[in-house]
Amino acid sequence: SQQGEEDPQALSIQEGENATMNCSYKTSINNLQWYRQNSGRGLVHLILIRSNEREKHSGRLRVTLDTSKKSSSLLITASRAADTASYFCATDVYTGNQFYFGTGTSLTVIP
Amino acid sequence: EAQVTQNPRYLITVTGKKLTVTCSQNMNHEYMSWYRQDPGLGLRQIYYSMNVEVTDKGDVPEGYKVSRKEKRNFPLILESPSPNQTSLYFCASSTTWNQPQHFGDGTRLSIL
């Protein structure tokens, strides 16, 4: 069963604009993480937010977490062409040792 | 340099011919995991290992085997590959199970 689902599936914006992508999940978690994947490459960890945190920042990234709605959002501010990639949320299950990735959002930043 | 190394990167083979995809990490991580990535389905966990000699099934373990005899290595074995195992495979490792994972560059398998 898929734990996380991202929305939208694809997003195209102009350089300099902000990009927002959302993630919903199904069961209680310990942490939620966001990863980036450049085409055909391995995933790279971006940011981790714990279940008792509501917001976290890292450079141009801002992540929010709403455990009551079982959802998270990733905001990339002042986007650059180099931000073009797929973005995945990943959750662990509170009672287990498994890891679940969503289906991803494909972001295209047009120069 | 901290890294997860997978081999081979690409493989085309035929149904039924046993194959092994190797994975090695140099970060002394306890947790290692295998995923497959298919269009529209995201990454799905195949098997994971909490530590040496401890392995568990993920969401899609059918048709796969793993072993964890040493901390650094976590090979994925396809005893009798079938076309539905054609996919992009990733190995990953982390200090513990719910911490950031480091990914290999992937292995693209085609089973004819």
Each residue of B68-109: pLDDT tens digit?
Answer: 999 999 999 999 999 999 999 999 999 988 899 999 999 999
> Does A68 contact B at CB distance below 8 Å?
no
Question: What pLDDT, on a 0 to 100 scale, did the predictor assign at position A3?
Answer: 64
Mean pLDDT of A95-110: 87
Q: How far apart are the C-alpha atoms of A25 and B73, rounded to whole Å?
A: 31
Instruction: Determine the pLDDT at residue B17.
Output: 96
Whether residue A101 and residue B35 make contact (CB cut-off 8 A), yes or no, is yes
From the list A42, A92, A103, the residue facing B104 with the nearest CB is: A42
CB within 8 Å: A99 and B97: yes
Query: What is residue B109's predicted lDDT score, i.e. its pLDDT?
Result: 97
Residue B70 has what pLDDT? 96
**pLDDT band at residue A27, thresholds of 50, 70 and 90?**
confident
Distance between CA atoms of residues B57 and B70, nearest Å = 18
Cis ω for the linkage preceding A8 (within 30 of 0) = yes
H and E: helices and strands count for chain B: 0, 11
How many other C-beta atoms can be found within 10 angstroms of the C-beta atom of residue B11? 15
Of residues B80 and A41, more confidently modeled: B80
**Chain position carrying tokens 């942490």:** A31
Predicted pLDDT at A13: 97
- In this prediction, residue A94 has a pLDDT band, given cuts at 50, 70 and 90, of low
Q: Which B-chain residues 24-83 have CB contacts (< 8 A) with chain A? A: 31, 33, 35, 40-45, 48, 50, 56, 58-59
